[in-house]
A and B are shown apart, each in its own frame.
Chain A
Amino acid sequence: MATKRKIDPFFWISVFSTGTVVVFIVFPLTEMVFQPSLQDLRDTICDPDVLGSIGLSIYTSGMAALISFLIGTPFAYLLARKNFFGKKLVESIIDLPIMIPHPVVGIAILGLAGKNHWLGQLMHQVGIQIMGTVTGIVTVLTFVGLPFYVNTVKAGFEAIPVRLENISRSLGASLSETFVRVTFRLAWRSMLVGIIMCSARAISEFGAVVIVAYHPMIAPVMIYERFTAYGIKYSQPVAVWLIAVSLLLFLLLRICSFPQEKQT
């Protein structure tokens, strides 16, 4: 005989929370996306300044992700595989950029790059300028994005049994050969996810960038500028285009990292 199963109130609480969260995130965004008219959207994307700023946003966050990949990968590997004195401290340091208020990041980096600091002087001599340059934007974006890359990839490395690497070594492969032939082959998806996380964080950065480089203008700065100068209606279409382009890019990257579920 079928009896009706009593559903625990906690189930309904979870359902309600899920709904609230989804609406809370999706509602403002969809409202914003559908508010500008098609004409506004068309005009905006034809504006070379807008195209330039979205392009610059994608380029600088891509560069930040590339730099994070290059220096973050070996670092994440070390954190995943080795225990050393002060490891917990290093792990906390890598999380610092997540906690610091964004303008503070900009101020800190500007402080180093200024002419009053020896590093700033050195950079000036070799022709590296931070203030108001693409280099400056990439620097702050790397600063804020790197923790996301390192933490994601570290978890990816930790998920690979160390025994596979031991076996590879005992069969004659050196540490670097093992990394290329085993570790990288098994962790590249988590690296891709790390790149997505890092560039997603970078593309959304505003506070740190606005301090280091108001110009050249990345998309979030342009959105802010148009909002303060002309109001909400004028800034919305740029935002919509930034969201659309980023969404497309991240979707493409996500698709590349899909087959993981099949394999494991």
Chain B
Amino acid sequence: MIEIKDLFIKFPGFTLQDINLSIGDGEFFMLLGPTGAGKTLVLEAIAGIVPITGGHIVVKGREITHHPPEHRGTSIVYQDYALFPHLSVLKNITYGLRYHKTDPKTSDKRVTWLIEQLGLQSLAHRSIHNLSGGEKQRIALARALAVNPSVLLLDEPLSALDPNFREDIRELLKKLHQEVETTFLMVTHDFAEAMFLGQRMAVLNYGKIDQIGSVREVFKKPATPFVAKFMGIKNVFHASFKDKTAQVHDLALHLQSLPGENKRYVAVRPEDIMITRNGTVENDINAFQSKVLGVTDRGPYYEISARTGDVIFIIMLSKNDFFKLELQKGKDIHLSIQPSSIHVF
């Protein structure tokens, strides 16, 4: 169990504050946030690399707030691998073993197992130069796990990799996490990565945590407009509520249930808005006459912006649907939104 209480770090021009996290043993926890949110700082504070201004860090019941990095039982893996350039692959992996009093047979077994799991058998005696990014990251993972740490800190381990390597390492991370007892704490700015790997996550917004919850919960029910936008919800609006209706400018959206107290926003995922060219809107709930403002090609899909009264919606459309609908800027369309797709917060 990792417990971080009131972590506070002050640098000139940046403050990380009120960081409170409780991560269970063996959990795969994601720390999500944009560049500059302070994610790496949290990791390095746990690893003891950056000095903290205030707060406590407890790992497995042991307060390690002021311990030097070598006495914390935390291994760290960086995005740029940070392999020792003067050591061979095997020597990189076994670097930390001498500092951990496990009997040589057990640690040998562990190293052999890691080398096998990570597919490094043929590389063991090579120099680390001229290896691919994926190979380097697998070595970095083996090196970090060889010492059997309580916590594995992963600092955007997939960001520097080519897309195909990224998928490999992602699968590997998931597999390794299931096989070892170590708690994984990973930092990323990619919510798809977080969804695939994480069990729970915290979203960091410029030095503060906006939301902590299960991956599903944060994805489905973001707690702040920042988290909503970060989770890919492009339609976030200020709203006033009356019974089961949310008023966004001149638009009344019907909700599935009563919104509850102190709610200020509604959010709709761009893929949850339907577009039709024909038909009537009168009989449907949450169906509106709308006009296409713009079309953006996003590679695998199209992003449509459409105006309904004073409200601009962003809608995601598969290429297939896009061509069927023959959409163009200025065309009239009908939008409809299921009440169950409207998230209130």
A-B contact pairs, 13 of them (CB 8 A): A163-B82, A166-B47, A166-B49, A166-B69, A167-B82, A168-B95, A169-B48, A170-B49, A170-B76, A172-B70, A172-B96, A174-B70, A182-B84
B85 at the interface (CB under 8 A from A): yes
A153-186 Cβ-contact flags toward B at 8 Å (1 or 0)? 0000000010110111111111101000110011
Instruction: Bits for A100-112, please: 1 = Cβ < 8 Å to B, else 0.
Output: 0000000000000
What's the interface size class on B, roughly? 20 to 34
Which of B78, B85, B96, B129 is close to A171, meaning CB atoms less than 8 Å apart?
A: B96
A173 to B147 Cα, complex, angstroms:
12
A175 to B68, CA, bound (A): 9
Residues of B within 8 A of A185 (CB): 86
Among A163, A169, A181, A263, which residue has its beta carbon within 8 angstroms of that of B78? Answer: A163
| Residue pair B96, A173 in contact (C-beta under 8 Å) | yes
Q: Across the interface, do A172 and B99 meet the contact criterion of CB distance under 8 Å?
A: yes
Q: How far is the CA of A174 from the CA of B85 in the complex (A)?
A: 19
Within 8 A of A (CB), among B81-117: 82, 84-86, 95-96, 98-100
Taking the complex as formed, is B80 at the interface, i.e. its CB lies under 8 A from any CB of chain A? Answer: yes
Which residues from chain A sit less than 8 Å from chain B, CB to CB? 161, 163-164, 166-175, 177, 181-182, 185-186, 263
B86 touches A186 (CB 8 A): yes
When chains A and B are docked, how far (Å) is the Cα of A182 from the Cα of B95? 10
CB distance from A263 to the nearest CB of B (A): 7
Q: Closest CB of chain B to A80's CB: distance in Å?
A: 16
Smallest CB separation, A182 vs chain B (Å): 6
B82 touches A173 (CB 8 A): no
The distance in angstroms between the C-alpha atoms of A169 and B49, with both chains bound, is 9
Asked whether B72 is an interface residue with its Cβ less than 8 Å from the other chain, the reply is yes
Task: Please name all residues of chain A whose beta carbon is closer than 8 Å to the beta carbon of B235 when the two chains form the complex.
Answer: none
CA distance A236 to B235 in the complex (A): 86
* Contact of A170 (CB < 8 Å), options: B69, B86, B129: B69
B44 proximal to A (CB < 8 A): yes
Q: Is B75 an interface residue (CB 8 A)?
A: yes
B57 to chain A, nearest CB (A): 14
Bound together, the chains give a CA A182 to CA B144 distance in angstroms of 16
Which chain B residues (14-70) contact chain A, with CB distance < 8 Å?
44, 47-49, 68-70
B95 touches A171 (CB 8 A): yes
A161 touches B84 (CB 8 A): no
Cβ contacts under 8 Å, A173 to chain B = 70, 95-96, 99
A181 to B68, CA, bound (A): 18
Q: Is the CB of A169 within 8 A of B68?
A: yes
- With A166-B44, A171-B75 as contacts: A263 and B85 at CB distance below 8 Å: yes
In the complex the two chains form, what is the Cα distance from A175 to B71 in whole Å?
Answer: 12
In the complex, A171→B78 CA distance in Å?
A: 13
Q: Please give the distance in Å from A28's CB to the nearest CB on chain B.
A: 43
| A residues near B44, Cβ cutoff 8 Å | 166
Q: A164-B82, A168-B95 are in contact. List 4 more A-B contacts (CB 8 A).
A: A166-B49, A170-B49, A172-B100, A186-B86
Question: Residue B143 at the A interface, CB < 8 A?
Answer: yes
Which of A172, A175, A186 is the one whose CB lies under 8 Å from B85? A186
Whether B74 sits at the interface, judged by CB under 8 Å, is yes
In the assembled complex, the Cα of A78 lies from the Cα of B144 at a distance in Å of 27
Closest to B98 in A: A172
Chain B residues, Cβ within 8 Å of A171: 70, 75, 95-96, 99, 143-144, 147
A18 to B129, CA, bound (A): 36
Contact with A along B139-153 (1 / 0, CB 8 A): 000011001000001
Closest to B82 in A: A163
Closest to A178 in B: B70
Are B84 and A170 within 8 A (Cβ)?
A: no
Q: Which residues of B contact A181 (CB under 8 A)?
A: 95
Residues of B near A263 (CB, < 8 A) are 85-86, 129
On chain A, the residues within 8 Å of B78 by CB distance are 163, 167
- Distance from B46 Cβ to chain A, minimum over Cβ atoms (Å): 10
CA distance A173 to B68 in the complex (A): 10
Contacts of A182 in B (CB 8 A): 84
Q: In the complex, what residue of chain B is closest to A171 when comparing beta carbons?
A: B96
Interface-centre pick from A166, A171, A263 (highest chain B CB count, 10 A): A171
Shortest CB distance B139–A (Å)? 12
- What residue of chain B has the Cβ atom nearest to residue A172's Cβ? B99
B47 CB → nearest A CB, Å = 5
With A166-B49, A166-B69 known as contacts, the answer to whether A172 contacts B147 (CB < 8 A) is yes
Inter-chain CA distance A168–B98, complex, in Å, is: 12
Residues of B contacting A169 in the complex (Cβ-Cβ under 8 angstroms) = 48-49, 68-70
With most chain B CB atoms within 10 A of its CB, the pick from A161, A166, A173 is A166
Inter-chain contact A170/B75, CB cutoff 8 Å: yes
CB distance from A94 to the nearest CB of B (A): 25
Instruction: State in angstroms the CA–CA spacing of A177 and B95 once bound together.
Output: 11
Q: Which residues of A contact B96 (CB under 8 A)?
A: 168, 171-173
Whole-angstrom CA separation of A127 from B257 in the bound complex? 94
Q: Which of B44, B95, B144 counts the most A-chain CB atoms under 10 A from its CB?
A: B95
Q: How far, in angstroms, from A213 to B70 measured CA to CA in the complex?
A: 50
**Which A residues touch B129, using CB under 8 A?**
263
Chain A proximity of B316: nearest CB distance (Å):
38
Nearest neighbor of A161 in chain B, beta-carbon distance: B82
Chain A contacts for B82, CB-based, 8 A: 161, 163-164, 166-167
Closest to B151 in A: A170
B76, B86, B99, B147: the one within 8 Å of A166 (CB): B76
